[in-house]
Amino acid sequence: MACKRGALIVLEGVDRAGKTTQCTKLVESFREVGRAVHLLRFPDRTTTIGKLISSYLENKSDLEDHTVHLLFSANRWELVPLMKKKLEEGTTLIIDRYAFSGVAFTSAKPDFSIEWCKAPDVGLPKPDLVLYLQLSPAAAAQRGEFGTERYETSSFQQRVQGRFEQLMDENSVNWQVVDASQSIDEVHDNIKRLSLSALTAAEHQPIAELWR
Ligand code: TMP
* pLDDT tens, position by position, 123-162: 999 999 999 999 987 787 788 878 889 998 889 999 999 9
Mutation to probe ligand 1, out of 56, 101, 155, 164 (largest number of atoms < 8 A from CB): 101
Q: Angle between the 65-77 and 48-57 helix axes, to the nearest 10 degrees?
A: 140
* pLDDT tens, position by position, 51-76: 999 999 999 999 999 999 999 999 99
Nearest atom in ligand 1 to the alpha carbon of residue 106 is: 15
Nearest atom in ligand 1 to the alpha carbon of residue 147 is: 3
* pLDDT tens, position by position, 89-116: 999 999 999 999 999 999 999 999 999 9
Instruction: Say what the pLDDT of residue 143 is.
Output: 84
Ligand 1 center to 67 CA (angstroms): 15
| Domain layout of the chain by residue ranges | 8-202
**Mean pLDDT along residues 20-34:** 97
CATH number of 8-202: 3.40.50.300
**Mean pLDDT along residues 177-197:** 97
The interface pTM score, or ipTM, of the predicted complex is 0.99
Cβ(92)–Cβ(207) below 8 Å: no
Instruction: Say what the pLDDT of residue 205 is.
Output: 94
pLDDT-above-70 percentage for the chain: 99
Instruction: Say what the pLDDT of residue 144 is.
Output: 80
- Tally of CB atoms within 10 A around 84: 15
